[in-house]
Amino acid sequence: MKDKRGYNSLLPRRLLMAGSAAGALVAFSTAHAQAWPTKQIRVIAPYPPGGGVDTVARAFSEKVSIKLGQPLVVDNQPGAGATIGAAALARSAPDGYTMMVGSLVDYSIAPFFHNNLSFDMAKDFVPVLEIGNGTIGVLVTPSLPVKNVQELIALARKEPGKLSYASSGFGGLIHLNYEMLKQMTGAEMTHVPYKGTSFFQADLYEGRVQVSIDNVLAHLPHIASGKVRCLAVTSKTRSPLLPEVPTMAEAGVPGFESATNYTLFVPRGTPGEVVAKLSAVGNEAVKDDDFRARMLKLGIVTTGGPQAEAQAKMVSEMKRWGDVIQKGNIKPT
């Protein structure tokens, strides 16, 4: 129907209706964000109770629960290199009531060592907040005649394969730390995989294996007593746990960075307003003095930061470890 000027008289009404519908969607989205959360939130921990990830998840949930006014309940779903818990997150409704504390590093490595994964971190997860990173150090047996990282590299290059390198298992982060060092410097050692750190500590301290690039927490008292030496830490900045120990960049290997990681994820599709609110309260929790002190006792330096930084970190970690694995032609045994 046209008016006297030739315009469709129904058009303004249609525009008004469309505008009203759009406004209703915005109002609904805003109301959802303001209302969320209205019930209990599940926090998946993809490792067993009592471990590092479980401890971080519980301490973080405790702080965030107070700020949100709803309980956060940790749900341990361990197994298959943390992929069972991750698959559970990917299957969860993206409504803000299921999240996970896991590792960007674990899920960057997982596709190369687990066949037929039912999830893809980049497609199925939204990293909300990097909670913190554990401190990794270059550790050597006290009898090894090197004073710093450059001397270690020189010795490994001079006598390829003579030095032995202990890891907590083939294809894990500690193994890949060595592969990255070898690719960056040519330091050739013999890889000796164990079932975990506790299984190789005595061998490292007594010189049956000479080197490892491992989480320093289990080694701290032995570093202090002189049973093992830490030549460098692999974080971007010096660690408050070992403030006198240089970073790898300071030790002459710029670009070598590695850390155990603790990140908060939600399923892809979770409303942006919920992600933003969770990021805000999560950052408040991470900055809490009590939380920071509790994490430092675990060897974890808290991080925090905008959601965009967590997203960028996910991309960079996937590239870092994917490149190491592919360049080293490392395949499941």
List, for residues 49-87, the tens digit of each pLDDT value. 998 999 999 999 999 999 999 999 999 999 998 999 999
Beta strand ranges found along the chain (DSSP E)? 41-45, 72-76, 98-102, 125-134, 136-140, 164-167, 190-193, 211-215, 229-233, 260-267, 300-302
Give me the sign of the Cα torsion angle 321, 332, 132, 102. Answer: positive
Domain 136-233 homologous superfamily, CATH? Periplasmic binding protein-like II (3.40.190.10)
- The Cα–Cα gap between 198 and 166 comes to 11
Q: What is the pLDDT of residue 24?
A: 44
Decide: 68 and 101 in contact? Cβ < 8 Å. Answer: no
Phi/psi at 238 (5° precision): -65, 150
Q: Compare 13 and 225 and report the one with higher pLDDT.
A: 225
pLDDT over 90 (residue 5): no
Q: What is the pLDDT of residue 53?
A: 95
The CATH code of the domain at 39-132+260-327 is: 3.40.190.150
Q: What is the pLDDT of residue 205?
A: 98
Domain ranges (residues) in the chain: 39-132+260-327, 136-233
Assign 286 a pLDDT band (cuts: 50, 70, 90). Answer: very high
Q: What is the pLDDT of residue 22?
A: 46
Residue bearing tokens 């460098």: 232
Decide: 214 and 174 in contact? Cβ < 8 Å. Answer: yes
Decide: 86 and 100 in contact? Cβ < 8 Å. Answer: yes
Q: Is 83 exposed, middle or buried (0-12, 13-18, 19+ CB in 10 A)?
A: buried
Assign 115 a pLDDT band (cuts: 50, 70, 90). Answer: confident
39-132+260-327 and 136-233 agree in CATH topology: yes
- The Cα–Cα gap between 260 and 216 comes to 10
Furthest-apart CA atoms within the chain: distance in Å = 99
Assign 333 a pLDDT band (cuts: 50, 70, 90). Answer: confident
Q: What is the pLDDT of residue 33?
A: 53
pLDDT over 70 (residue 150): yes
Q: What is the pLDDT of residue 116?
A: 87
- pTM confidence score: 0.87
Assign 167 a pLDDT band (cuts: 50, 70, 90). Answer: very high
- The Cα–Cα gap between 273 and 333 comes to 44
| Euclidean distance between the first and the last CA atom of the chain, given in angstroms as a whole number | 74
pLDDT tens per residue, range 237-262: 999 999 999 999 999 999 999 999 99
Q: What is the mean pLDDT of residues 126-130?
A: 98
- The Cα–Cα gap between 326 and 242 comes to 33
Q: Compare 23 and 97 and report the one with higher pLDDT.
A: 97
Q: Compare 155 and 19 and report the one with higher pLDDT.
A: 155
Least confident interval from 13-22, 133-142, 280-289: 13-22
